[in-house]
Amino acid sequence: MVGILPLLTLPVVVLLLALWMPRWAFMCAMAFAIDAGCKWLT
């Protein structure tokens, strides 16, 4: 269960910060969050 935690929390954190980001920064941050979560899982 601990292994899946970053995959679930990183995109949620990015979504919470989305209001203070430009759209391009949000897209880059979301891509990084998903990629980092998947790499952590494997």
Domain count, the chain: 1
Tell me the CA distances in angstroms from 17 to 21, 31, 41, one per residue in order.
7, 14, 23
Span 7-41, pLDDT tens digits? 999 999 999 999 999 999 999 999 999 999 999 98
Q: Which domain holds residue 11?
A: 2-41
Tell me the CA distances in angstroms from 22 to 2, 12, 25, one per residue in order.
31, 17, 5
pTM of the model: 0.83
Does the pLDDT of residue 1 top 80, yes or no?
A: no
**Residues 1, 38: Cα–Cα separation, whole Å:** 14
